[in-house]
Amino acid sequence: MKPDIHPKNFRPVVFKDMSCDHAFLVRSCVETKETIKWEDGNEYPLFKLEISDKSHPFYTGKQQLVDTAGRIDKFMKRYGKK
């Protein structure tokens, strides 16, 4: 392994999936501005995720349909049965 190519500031960080409120604690060097109180009573840096293995359709086997700005209604109006 090459010397001095890996970061040296690893620390415990909580990653939180905001879509399903799943959180996990791992060692990381990601920069964060927020903190959170973890289950063990200690406070750790918090990094917010939009998607993780607990919410991604590939891992869950479920497709979540998110209707943003009425896309489904717009589609049904245009192509739905009349």
Q: What is the pLDDT of residues 3-49, one digit of tens each?
A: 888 888 889 999 998 888 889 999 999 999 999 999 999 999 999 98
Q: What is the pLDDT of residues 19-32, one digit of tens each?
A: 888 899 999 999 99
Please, are residues 52 and 15 in contact by the beta-carbon 8 Å criterion? yes
pLDDT for res 4? 85
Domains of the chain: total: 1
In this structure, is residue 2 part of a structural domain?
no
In angstroms, the CA 35 to CA 13 distance is 9
Q: How many CB atoms lie within 10 A of CB 14?
A: 22
The pLDDT confidence band at residue 77, using thresholds 50, 70 and 90, is confident
Residue with tokens 């497709």: 63
In this structure, is residue 53 part of a structural domain?
yes
In this structure, is residue 5 part of a structural domain?
no
If you average pLDDT over residues 60-81, what whole number do you get? 68
Boundaries of domain holding 18: 11-79
In angstroms, the CA 27 to CA 22 distance is 17
